[in-house]
Amino acid sequence: MSFSPDYKNYKDAKISDDTMQAMRDLRAVTGNTMDLNIMNIRIGGVECAVVSIEGMTSTDAMSELIFRPIMQLNDKGKTSPQRIFEFLTEESLLAAERKTLFTYGDVIQFLFSGFAVIFTDTIPKAVAYGIQGYDKRSVSDPKSEQTIHAAQDSFTETIRTNLSLVRRRMKTPALRFEMSQLGEKTSTDVCIMYLADRASPEIVRRIRTDLSRIKLDTIMTSEYLQPFIDESYENSIFSSVMRSERPDMICTCLNEGKVCILVDGTPFCLILPTVFADNFRTMDDYCQKSFYVTFTRWMRYIAFFLAVAFPGLYVALVMFHPEIFTMELLLNLSASEEATPYPLVLEVIMLMVLFEIMREAGLRLPKAVGGAVSIVGGLIIGDAAVKSGIVSAPLLIVIGITATASFVLPSLYPAISVLRIVFILAGGLGGLFGLSLAIIVLMANVNNMNDFAVSFTAPIMPFCRSSVKDVVSRASFREYEQKHSTIGEYRQTDEPPRKGKGSE
């Protein structure tokens, strides 16, 4: 079959039994792209072709595993095309991964995945061998989820490497990997991971269905998938989908009956469904005694309160409820605020915006100077602002405490940064009454999150006695011997029919 350069319906087209015609077809489909390598060879008098993509295959592996065995077959003299094809598919072990291809769509998919494809004249099929050799980043230390006692490896951008990191830790046949390709242009590998004896079949089925309905042209990171699998993505400030770069954390979540999704090209794994309390856990919690874990976990809850509500509470008390302060502190606050030219609410918002700008600058600049810009900028600008009378010194202390507390929970930082502004406005407009109203609205929104029939506030609401201890502490490993809870215990059996993209 002959192709024109603008041929688009190649995916289901059968491979031509004429090798030279098949090569012309491939050049037409790919627009004769520069990195398409076609090596025409003759084996025992039969025209063949070895096709690969430059930079995607290993040259050494191709020479050792492909060319040398084929040349040995060529030394045996005349042979038939069928004999060559049987040698390639049945009588040789040229590579660990081998696949027989029937359409040009399969050929393109495997070529661009780092496979070498061999065509044989008069045979309307091809054989693909996995000899990938593209450059990839090696396994390194975690960047955003650092721990002291837990493992020090993290995911990379290569999905096969990430799968091996998980499999190495969980040597059980119950661990399932389901691979698919998403994205009309990118054909990105996406893998669903779960434990068959712990994950809910209903959750796995719904995630599989949601992913199959994605029609995006390109999928570059795992976050491209989140709007399609997170039911509360557009309705809540929080998310029931977490992400992690740690293989040990993923294994822990799998053991709890959760489902994880890996996307090729991104070093983060999606975890779902999750609850609010999951954001306050770290792998170090499983490396310390329970009493210390209880202490650190409560510190994280306190840090969350300070990061979200402390500036708004300060504004509400100073503007509407000054009687709560002692006389000495009240006089100091009054003197500080009278020396500033702007209203207190405007001061707080101005400092918070300035903090976010410095944080963003620190993230985007090279690491060698990024941290210095944030620290030096905060010290110099903060000191100059106080001395010039633009902001008050007590307010600068409040912002410093808030900024420090917000770094304790990196997974909640996007929600914290927005909620902080909301609480400042609520406290400035209505005092403690405004804060109470904001909390009620927030709680109503959070309680409405019920993704995959799992309430985001579980195991507090609805109350689950066997799991509530893990919210404020960590159960001992002797208790885990008796019973290890899973996310399935939080599921509500009287779940209403699902709405949205994943509805059946």
What distance in Å separates the CA atoms of residue 352 and residue 419, rounded to the nearest whole number?
A: 12
| Short-list 177, 58, 159, CA closest to 115 | 58
Give the model's confidence band at 372: pLDDT under 50 very low, under 70 low, under 90 confident, else very high: low
| Short-list 314, 317, 222, CA closest to 263 | 222
The pLDDT score that the predictor gives to residue 303 is: 96
pLDDT tens-digit map of 320-349: 999 888 888 888 888 877 778 888 899 899
pLDDT tens-digit map of 205-251: 999 999 999 999 999 999 999 999 998 888 889 998 999 999 999 99
State how far the alpha carbon of 445 is from the alpha carbons of 210, 235, 277, 440, 484, in Å. 24, 8, 16, 9, 30
| Short-list 203, 167, 116, 157, CA closest to 498 | 203
Contacts with 341 (C-beta within 8 Å, 6 or more apart), sequence order: 389, 390
First to last CA, the chain: 40
Give the model's confidence band at 471: pLDDT under 50 very low, under 70 low, under 90 confident, else very high: confident
The pLDDT score that the predictor gives to residue 312 is: 95
Q: Is residue 493's pLDDT more than 60?
A: no
Least confident segment among 26-40, 51-65, 166-180, 466-480: 466-480
Q: What is the DSSP string of 68-118?
A: HHHHHHHTT----HHHHHHHHHTS--S-S-EEEE-BHHHHHHHHTTTEEEE
Least confident segment among 19-23, 275-279, 354-358, 399-403: 354-358
Supply 357's token pair. Answer: 């700008």
What distance in Å separates the CA atoms of residue 428 and residue 432, rounded to the nearest whole number?
A: 9
pTM of the complete model: 0.85
Tokens 């350069």, located at residue: 5
Give the model's confidence band at 8: pLDDT under 50 very low, under 70 low, under 90 confident, else very high: low
Per DSSP, the three-state class of 48 is strand
CA 475 remoteness from chain centre: 28
| Domain residue spans of the chain | 19-130, 136-274+477-504, 291-448
pLDDT tens-digit map of 301-316: 999 999 999 999 999 9
Supply 391's token pair. Answer: 């902001």
Q: Is residue 5's pLDDT more than 60?
A: no
Segment holding 180, helix H or strand E:
strand 175-182
β-partners of residue 223 are: none
Across the beta sheet with 269-272, the strand order is 175-182, 188-195, 259-263, 269-272, 242-244
User: What's the chain's average pLDDT?
Assistant: 86
Give the model's confidence band at 500: pLDDT under 50 very low, under 70 low, under 90 confident, else very high: very low
pLDDT tens-digit map of 108-167: 989 988 899 999 999 999 999 888 887 778 888 888 888 888 888 999 999 989 999 999
Q: Is residue 366's pLDDT more than 90?
A: no
The pLDDT score that the predictor gives to residue 78 is: 67
Per residue, what are the HEC states of 14-44? ECCCCHHHHHHHHHHHHCCCCCEEEEEEEEC
The pLDDT score that the predictor gives to residue 426 is: 96
CA 416 remoteness from chain centre: 19
The pLDDT score that the predictor gives to residue 496 is: 47
The pLDDT score that the predictor gives to residue 254 is: 94
The pLDDT score that the predictor gives to residue 497 is: 44
Percent of the chain with pLDDT over 90: 44
The pLDDT score that the predictor gives to residue 370 is: 66
What distance in Å separates the CA atoms of residue 225 and residue 239, rounded to the nearest whole number?
A: 13
The pLDDT score that the predictor gives to residue 501 is: 45
